[in-house]
């Protein structure tokens, strides 16, 4: 039997294993899930060993462990470095899930569960593909190293130090990352550009302690008002970010690239419906595809302060907070973007309050080469598995490791995603479209075959 037939014949097994993986609530950002993180890492190592990797281990970091594996059956042939993440986003708000987030549930062609698409299902296509090679040909046709981290959803604090420390372990000709999306279930896509990110928290302090809003309201500046005004001023009426210097390092889009982006199939109404909005917003001179993939953005991820429990409490709070993320494009840099916003927030803060700004995490934007031999193998693999040529796209999400691979290991990445735009990433009712799972496994198998030549 060949590996493709093996994978097709064993799809039920691949599904059962993915369901097992999804039952582990590996939420990296919540301390109470630390044991689940260990469990998920151990489970993944065991699956890698079962798939044939002679070496697979859980390697400790300062945070959650990294799962590393390698199989080098063919000295002289290319080595790929497969990256993915076994951690998931928190499942809240729980009451909006139609099925329990950590009880994977199949409805029609979709598998619902936290992490199904981002990223356990996509990551697992690689494990399954290797197993198909092992069971049929004895070994995969190329050399493979795996780097699966457990902190992607919380800014990957331990990853850069790990990469810097283990360069020989990670040496490869190309990296492969399945943690993204295609256009729709019949139209594959390869991401060649990702936005970077700079994430921060702002704290605005007014009075030294909470005050009675009757006793002081009208004469003491409420920090929530001050923060709201500051935030409201971060964009102009055209959706352009007002932070001085913010656009200085933004690379202009050349006409040729704009023409390419304009050719990406885009159904505006479907997009509006998916987003659940009646109108788009943002820079009028750029298309929605450009606004979300090739232009920077600034979003408040959360804002809080004062009394937010049921009922009423008349308080003039001492503090107000916001979490803000900035999505960055080449050649913006996360620390520099942070410096600019910190300076700006302090400059625009009224004298009645004080402002503290804290950097939480960041990652660089990346653009990858589209003309390499591995990229050509990936294009052929998608075309064979999906029956349609993949389209090159840019994405608005961030996978900071891509820039890290370029800088530290000197390698390019193939973004071999299998998710769909309506997979509800980071939201209730996350799902993975199962035909994409199986076509994903097929794409990975063919990619390795084409790359081996």
Q: Which is nearer to ligand BES, 363 or 365 (CB)?
A: 363
Burial of 88 (0-12, 13-18, 19+ CB in 10 A): buried
395 binds, among Zn ion, ligand BES, none (CB under 5 to 8 A by kind): ligand BES
- Contacts with 378 (C-beta within 8 Å, 6 or more apart), sequence order: 190, 390, 414, 416, 447
Residues that bind ligand BES (CB under 6 A): 118-119, 152-153, 155, 179-181, 197, 363, 395, 397-400, 425
330 binds, among ligand BES, Zn ion, none (CB under 5 to 8 A by kind): none
Residues 160-179 touching Zn ion, rule: CB under 5 A, are 179
Q: Is 342 in the site for Zn ion (CB under 5 A)?
A: no
What tokens appear for 308 in the block? 């937010």
Q: How far is CA 90 from CA 23, 114, 311, in A?
A: 14, 8, 27
Could you give phi then psi for residue 316, rounded to 5 degrees?
-110, 100
Site string for Zn ion, 176-215 (x = CB under 5 A): ---x------------------------------------
Burial of 139 (0-12, 13-18, 19+ CB in 10 A): middle
CA distance 176 to 305: 42
Q: What is the number of helices (H) and of strands (E) in the chain?
A: 14, 18
Nearest residue to ligand BES on Cβ basis: 397
- Using DSSP, state whether 320 is helix, strand or coil: strand
Q: Which is nearer to ligand BES, 104 or 121 (CB)?
A: 121
Parallel, antiparallel, or unpaired for β 391-395 and 196-205? unpaired
Q: Which is nearer to ligand BES, 78 or 296 (CB)?
A: 296
Cβ 219 to ligand BES, closest distance in Å?
A: 41
- Contacts with 431 (C-beta within 8 Å, 6 or more apart), sequence order: 110, 111, 112, 113, 116, 117, 423, 424
Cβ 180 to Zn ion, closest distance in Å?
A: 8
Cβ 302 to ligand BES, closest distance in Å?
A: 14
197 binds, among Zn ion, ligand BES, none (CB under 5 to 8 A by kind): ligand BES
Size of the site for Zn ion (CB under 5 A): 3
What tokens appear for 406 in the block? 């370029």
Site string for Zn ion, 96-125 (x = CB under 5 A): ----------------------xx------
Burial of 368 (0-12, 13-18, 19+ CB in 10 A): buried
Q: Which is nearer to Zn ion, 36 or 153 (CB)?
A: 153
Cβ 191 to ligand BES, closest distance in Å?
A: 6
Q: Which is nearer to ligand BES, 3 or 363 (CB)?
A: 363
CA distance 77 to 97: 46
**Residues labelled catalytic:** 87, 152
Cβ 276 to ligand BES, closest distance in Å?
A: 17
79 binds, among ligand BES, Zn ion, none (CB under 5 to 8 A by kind): none
């Amino acid at each position: 039997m060949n590996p493709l037939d093996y994978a097709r014949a064993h799809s039920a097994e691949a599904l059962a294993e993915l369901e097992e993986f999804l039952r582990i609530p590996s939420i990296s950002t919540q301390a109470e899930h630390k044991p689940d993180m260990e469990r998920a890492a151990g489970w993944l190592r065991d699956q890698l060993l079962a798939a044939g990797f002679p070496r697979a281990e859980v390697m400790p970091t300062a945070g959650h462990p990294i799962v590393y594996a390698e199989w080098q059956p063919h000295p002289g042939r290319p080595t790929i470095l497969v990256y993915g993440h076994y951690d998931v986003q928190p499942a809240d708000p729980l009451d909006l899930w139609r099925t329990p987030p950590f009880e994977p549930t199949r409805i029609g062609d979709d598998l619902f569960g936290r992490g199904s698409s981002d990223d356990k299902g996509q990551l697992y296509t690689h494990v399954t593909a290797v197993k198909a090679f092992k069971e049929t040909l004895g070994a995969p046709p190329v050399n493979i190293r795996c780097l699966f981290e457990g902190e992607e959803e919380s800014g990957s604090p331990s990853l850069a130090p790990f990469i810097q420390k283990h360069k020989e372990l990670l040496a490869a000709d190309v990296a492969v990352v399945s943690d993204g999306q295609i256009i729709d279930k019949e139209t594959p896509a390869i991401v060649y550009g990702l936005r970077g990110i700079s994430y921060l928290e702002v704290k605005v302090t007014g009075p030294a302690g909470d005050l009675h809003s009757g006793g002081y309201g009208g004469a003491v500046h409420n920090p929530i008002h001050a923060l709201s005004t500051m935030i409201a001023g971060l964009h102009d009426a055209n959706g352009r970010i007002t932070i001085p210097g913010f656009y200085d390092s933004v690379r202009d889009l050349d006409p040729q690239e704009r023409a390419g982006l304009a050719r990406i199939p885009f159904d505006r109404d479907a997009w509006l419906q998916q987003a659940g909005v009646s109108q788009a917003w943002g820079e009028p001179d750029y298309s929605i595809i450009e606004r979300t993939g090739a232009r920077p953005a600034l979003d408040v991820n959360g804002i809080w302060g004062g009394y937010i429990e049921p009922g009423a409490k008349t308080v003039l709070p001492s503090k107000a907070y916001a979490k803000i993320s900035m999505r960055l494009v080449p050649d913006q840099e996360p620390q520099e973007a942070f410096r600019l916003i910190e300076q700006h927030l302090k400059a625009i803060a009224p004298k009645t309050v004080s402002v503290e700004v804290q950097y939480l995490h960041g990652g660089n934007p990346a653009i990858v080469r589209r003309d390499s031999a591995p990229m050509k193998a990936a294009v052929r693999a998608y075309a064979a598995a999906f029956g349609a040529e993949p389209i090159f796209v840019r994405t608005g999400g961030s996978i900071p490791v891509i820039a890290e691979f370029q800088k530290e290991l000197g390698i390019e990445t193939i973004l071999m995603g299998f998710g769909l735009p309506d997979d509800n990433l980071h939201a209730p009712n996350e799902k993975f479209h199962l035909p994409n799972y199986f076509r994903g496994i097929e794409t990975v198998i063919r990619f390795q075959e084409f790359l081996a030549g």
